Structure 1
Amino acid sequence: MSSDPWGRVDEQGNVYVRTADGERQVGSWQAGSPEEALAYFERKFQGLEAEIALLEHRVRKTDLAAKEAQTALDHLRAQVVEAHAVGDLDALAKRLETLAGEIETRQGERKAAKAKAQEETRAAKEALVAEAEQLAESNQWREAGDRLRALVDNWKALPRLDRKSDDELWHRFSHARSVFSKHRKSHFAALDSERDSARAVKEKLVAEAEALSGSTEWGPTAAAYRDLMTQWKAAGRAQRDAEEELWARFRGAQDVFFQARSAAFSERDAEQGENQKAKEALLVEAEAILPITDLKAAKAALREISERWEAIGHVPRDARPKLDGRLGAVERAVREAEEAEWQRSNPEARARATGMTTLLQAAVDKLRADLDKARAAGNASRAAKLEAELEGRQALLDQAQKSLQEFTS
């Protein structure tokens, strides 16, 4: 006789499996040794275990339908109960019970999700109906008509509700569209009598637009064209041929003006770009003043540079802060040097110079840290601003350190 923890083979070759309910015979074996018999029935257990593992995977990792999962579960339960296999059948049964709970939970979740989807569909369709009923009274014919067509597409994209609810909502939706269509037809029937007056109004607007096309008062004229466009839209439509001809003239007049404005702005931008280059060249001269060794010469050089700076004119807006910051740094350095020169003989100046150097060093260290953070964050605008400020503070620190050295020399 041979046995293992889950089964045994008696002397007659009968094979038994052990369960919590006791032993039961699962087969007999006459063709070989008891060990071979147990191995055979253990392989059958392993096959059953593999089927359970596969179902667990499908339930937990795939979108397996609850009905299909339940059918597979019932089949495996029966197999475990009647299994002609040797192994821990009680453990397999427990795994199936656990899986049964998961299937039930999943089925409940899907049922709840389906109910939620139905409620969401109902709410979406009710919202479409409410909007359609509101649009039914609109006189914004093109916009409301386009929106109603979009609402129809949205309706078609939604799932169906129960027949009664769906039919009731569709009846309201369809009725709202019919009301809008009737109003629109009435409006355009009345509009035919107004087309002649619309043509007269638009001919006047075209004449005004053509008179403005040569203006170089860019701001006021652009505003005037916007006002003319508003009047154009409010005037209604003329006959089709007249409408197209008048619109071509009106739009042509605008194009003449705005193309001229664009060319003028491009010329201005090019001029300001050259001004930027000139000021950048001046900054090289200004920054060469630092560090200051001859205060009188530095002040004279800065005055001359400042006069040339003002004479150059405007630069692009986005370049202005950095350029002004760099020049301001030189100006501050000169002022600090002048102040240091004035206070050079002051007995209390040494203490103040020491404190100033400490404060400036701390400020420079903080600006460097902030600049590193701005660069790491990709904030180019802030980085440029901090860089300009750092250059100024560094120049002040250099001057302060020099002044402090003079007190100790």
Structure 2
Amino acid sequence: MEHPDHPLTEARRYGYVEDGGVWLRPTLGQPARRIGQVKDTDDDALRYFAQRYEAFRTKVDELLQRLETADNQGSYLMKILHLQEQCKQHDGLGDYETLHRRLREAEDQLKVSVARNREKNLATKISLIQQAEELSDSIEWISASEKVKELRQAWLKTGPVDKELTEELENRFHGAVQLFFDRRKAFQTDRKALARRTVDRYRDLVNQAESLKNSDQFEATSRQLKQLQTAWRDVNGNLPKKQAAELWTKFRAANNHFFERLKHHIESQRVAAVTEGRSGVPSSAEESLVRKRELANRAEALLSVPSNQAVNQAKALQAEWKQSGAVRGPESDRLWQRFMLACDKVFEMSALDYYLRKRQAEGTTATPTERAQAATAALRKFIENDRQELDLLRDNLDKLSSAPANDQFRQLLQGKIRTFERKIQTKTELIAIFSAAVSSPGR
């Protein structure tokens, strides 16, 4: 049967009272040290410090019990080392030697367990790295993305490995993951760019159709619109349903508008032919040529008119040209070239004036020479952009297969090439005009 005052007996075994102080006997390689003082009686003081030891021992017992069932035992290592140090510094009376030995044995077992776990962690991380590196080249973007995310979660849940391996493994794993997501981002960027190019292509066809819908050159425009319809089918773009429907509605409306006008034109021609047959009065091609000469001269004179007025007058002249009658022959073609070039100059001048006004500092006024120099620089810049577009079109035309299926698209490219060649010619002639103004400012 345990002695009724067992705590006191244990306290005297590991400590003593001397000169009013409580002393712990030599332990753990340390000499005896004073741990407190006597406040009431010697026995009360000894019992108090024996209870302090018991509280500390209970703390050690609880830690070692939790360690046995812990999932992440490695996290207990620092706590065990800390308690070992406390065994040498704790103010109590008891068997610190035994507590220290138990903690050291737990430390040794824990180090073995940690080493074993780190080997398992290493094997797990190597496996995760291999899987990530295999996925880094995948193009199954949806399924591979899910797998990569799962690998990242598994990596975070996997415990540490030896410190000298940590950086290398981290770099390999995260490098493979980053490579996959960089490739996916590049793919998505390319897909968006392709979608934008598809939309731009459809919009270009819509704009071309709308620019032709009021044309009075019925025969040529009919061919052009049919070419645009073929080009529309050749795009074969994959766009959101709503966006595709909106573009198609605009394109179809422009086509329908023209062909409805063509229908009325054919009917009016039939009626006119019948009327002419009855009256015996033929139409005059010479009158049409005279009218076209007059329109070309008036268009060329518009360069001396302020651009904001010249634009409206050029548009009015274009409307008159449509009503001037159809004439075939070399002179008609030359007049058409003169007229179109003159109108182009008017529209280019208007765009140039707007460009220069936007870049001119508020409240300042440029001299005629300064304006001519700025206009020349701007036109050269515009020509450079036009040449880039022209080179791209020519390159696309050169790469186009000679298959008959591409004939209509080839004609479309050739038409756009002629348009840019005319733009460059127009701007070049304007540069000559401005350069002459700079070299002869007094004129």
- Alignment TM-score > 0.5, same fold: no
Bucket of the pairwise TM-score, normalised by the shorter protein: 0.3 to 0.5
TM-score by length of 1: 0.33
State the TM-score, normalizing by the size of structure 2. 0.31
